[in-house]
Amino acid sequence: MKNFNELKNGLLQDKATKKAYRELAPRYAIIEMIIKKRLKIGLSQEALANKIGTKQSAIARFESGRTNPTLSFLTNITSALNGKLTISLK
């Protein structure tokens, strides 16, 4: 049985898969940072949703990567987590 890294490396040999993986990396990095921050300060998805005036299911969809959040949604989440959303073009 292959471990995750072996499977990932095998899949990334395909050029189309590798391109899609690179394109999605920033999106999933943002999701990961937000989940880590939410857990660090001890907020449930429901509590975060209540702070920004949405439903828990919206937070769950965002955290699972099943939705494409607006800039406003991301700003609301980061503010509720006592953070700051910064965008940089390099």
Task: Examine the pLDDT at 90 and tell me if it is beyond 90.
Answer: no
Question: Which residues have a Cβ under 8 Å from the Cβ of 73 and sit 6 or more positions away?
Answer: 52, 54, 62
Q: What is the pTM of this model?
A: 0.82
Domain that holds residue 71: 27-80
Task: Examine the pLDDT at 1 and tell me if it is beyond 80.
Answer: no
Residue 61 lies in a domain: yes
- Read off the pLDDT of residues 41-74 as tens digits, 9 standing for 90 and up: 999 999 999 999 999 999 999 999 999 999 999 9
Residue 48 lies in a domain: yes
- Read off the pLDDT of residues 26-43 as tens digits, 9 standing for 90 and up: 999 999 999 999 999 999
Residue 18 lies in a domain: no
CATH number assigned to the domain comprising residue 47: 1.10.260.40
pLDDT reported for residue 87: 87
Check if the beta carbon of residue 65 is closer than 8 Å to that of residue 31. Answer: yes
Residue 87 lies in a domain: no
Of residues 28, 53, 23, 40, the one with CA closest to residue 83: 40
In total, how many domains does the chain have? Answer: 1
Residue 3 lies in a domain: no
